[in-house]
Amino acid sequence: MTYFGDNLYTLRKRAGMSQEEFAERLGVSRQAVSKWERCEAYPDTENLIAIAKLFGVSLDELVNSPDIESVLDSNDGARDDRYGKVVKVKRGIPLLYAIPYPIIVTVVYLLLGFLTERGWAVGWTLYVTIPVYYSLIDCIKARRLSSFAYPVFMTFIYFLFGMLYAVWHPLWVIFLTIPIYYAIADAIDKK
């Protein structure tokens, strides 16, 4: 017994796609998608592979899983890389991508600017943390220290302490730690 029709319907609905949108992405007719979901017809192998890839499930899960919802809830989720549409909300670290960090930085910058004496002058350095934030997520997700934007982080530290405490001259030495960081990170990543 195949569960393909029900699974396709569930996956398409979770992705928030209409039959027309889904058909357009695959390059087939809406009628074909309707027949697939009602198990009146089945896609060819090429389309089956494309559907599984689109929703981030295996062919076996797509065709044979009696409960595709539990499959989606038990794995890391799926993302349609070609179109950037999230099929399901991912748990854990990928959820951190959903946090509107640039907006948070902007709000904090405005609050610092309006509420503190030197907020406008110093608060802009928070914008340097945006690539640091996303590279930290990538670093943790990939489990590779070398993917962390360490030079950008050092730039943030340099600007922040330079502007707060006027220690520009002696503080430049922190940039000398960049090659040391990457040498250590590469050694750890190889292990």
Reading the block at residue 169, the tokens are: 């001259």
Residue 139 amino acid letter = C
166-185 residue pLDDT tens: 999 899 999 999 999 999 99
**What is the DSSP secondary-structure string of 96-153?**
HHHS-HHHHHHHHHHHHHHHSSSHHHHHGGGGGHHHHHHHHHHHHHHT-GGGS-HHHH
Contact criterion met (CB below 8 Å) for 65 and 2: no
The third-level CATH classification (topology) of the domain covering 4-89 is: 434 Repressor (Amino-terminal Domain) (1.10.260)
Delimit the domains of the chain by residue range.
4-89, 96-190
Reading the block at residue 145, the tokens are: 């220290």
84-127 residue pLDDT tens: 444 443 444 556 667 889 999 999 999 999 999 999 999 999 99
38-83 residue pLDDT tens: 888 889 988 888 888 888 888 888 887 777 766 666 554 444 444 4
Q: Residue 190: helix, strand or coil by DSSP?
A: helix
* Structure-token match 């340097």, residue found: 128
Go through the chain and tell me how many residues it has.
191
pTM > 0.85: yes or no: no
User: How many CB atoms within 10 Å of residue 60?
Assistant: 10
Q: Is the pLDDT of residue 11 over 80?
A: yes
